[in-house]
Amino acid sequence: MSAVTERFAVRVMVTDVWDQVFLVVEPTTTVAELKRQALAQALKRSNLALDAYVVKFHGAQVLDEAVTLAALGAAANAPFIVLPARRQPVH
């Protein structure tokens, strides 16, 4: 019998474009992979400096992006935010 991997959708707000993307992920997906997929989908580019962005979950920055979504306790429709690591000046 083969193992069936449960997949579920999460919401990711990418503040650079003020757009929310929906990603279908697995519990074993890392936060780093979630960030890469969300930025690529929202910004329509794949050559991004990923270290220039941080991920927040339940209002707190995820410091270890190697952690899996299951370890964070993320479930279906969980909200994430991807934003620049440095504050942007307001003019």
Q: Is residue 56 part of a domain?
A: yes
Burial 58-78, CB ≥16 within 10 A → b, else e: eeeebeebeebbeebebeeeb
Q: Is residue 90 part of a domain?
A: no
Q: Averaged over 4-13, what is the pLDDT?
A: 89
Q: Give the structural domain span for 80.
A: 8-84
Q: Is residue 1 part of a domain?
A: no
Q: What is the pLDDT of residues 45-84, one digit of tens each?
A: 878 889 999 999 999 999 999 999 999 999 999 999 999 9
Q: Is residue 89 part of a domain?
A: no
Is the pLDDT reported for residue 2 higher than 60? no
Tally the domains of the chain.
1
Q: Is residue 45 part of a domain?
A: yes
Mean pLDDT of the chain: 91
1, 70 contact by CB (below 8 A): no
